[in-house]
Amino acid sequence: MPKVEFLFDFGSPNAYLSHLVIPRIEKRTGATFVYLPVLLGGVFKLTNNRSPAESNAGIKNKPEYQRLETERFVRQHGITRYQHNPFFPVNTLMIMRGAVAAQQLGIFERYVDEVYRHMWAEPKKLDDPAVLRAALLESDLPADRLFELVQTAPVKEALMAETQRAVDRGTFGSPTFFVDDDIYFGKDRLRDVEEAIVAKR
């Protein structure tokens, strides 16, 4: 079975939509996607890239088309728990460090599910510490411990290192997928990812 990796940042709606589809691909192929938290702002800085909201600003028709493509993707996959976050863009530094901290605490999968819920299913302003704390507590996650860990050097350095490693491998945005060493970018490449898994299996 090939190694399959999903490089994500909670601030990317396309990464969230991919997250909702990944379990079905895992079930069909028998593969397990390894989730790797990266800081999208750091990726952009290291690659001289910009977010679609910035790069598409002022371009006639392109943002509207991208919204149409999102609607098509949502319908195609029967996704019901997705809303535009009215606070977008959200600074994700704290919650991405929180993902690293959650790995250390052994609660990573639940943390990812719940933070995604609070970001894109029941949208909140998660770069507000008070809002984030309340959301973590609502999800029965150890908010105080997570808030402590995200301020520690090992957590900060781990996120920076994973972000740098992602760029070194060819990443320039999120969602990015690797099937062994083959890179795929964007939720619309999930079919290619699945085909690559089957071919390499």
pLDDT confidence tier of residue 57, bands split at 50, 70 and 90: confident
**What pLDDT is stored for residue 171 in this prediction?**
97
pLDDT of 159 above 80: yes
Q: What is the number of residues in the chain?
A: 201
**What pLDDT is stored for residue 63 in this prediction?**
83
The identity of residue 172, as a single letter, is F
pLDDT of 93 above 90: yes
- pLDDT, tens only, 169-185: 999 999 999 999 999 99
- pLDDT, tens only, 60-90: 898 889 889 999 999 999 999 999 999 998 9
Domain boundaries 4-200, corresponding CATH code: 3.40.30.10
**What pLDDT is stored for residue 158 in this prediction?**
98
Give percent of the chain above pLDDT 90.
Answer: 90
> Mean pLDDT, the chain, as a whole number?
95
Query: What is the mean predicted confidence (pLDDT) over 114-142?
Result: 98
pLDDT of 193 above 80: yes
Q: Are 45 and 165 in contact (CB under 8 A)?
A: no
Query: Alpha carbon 100 to chain centroid distance?
Result: 13
Domain residue extents for the chain? 4-200
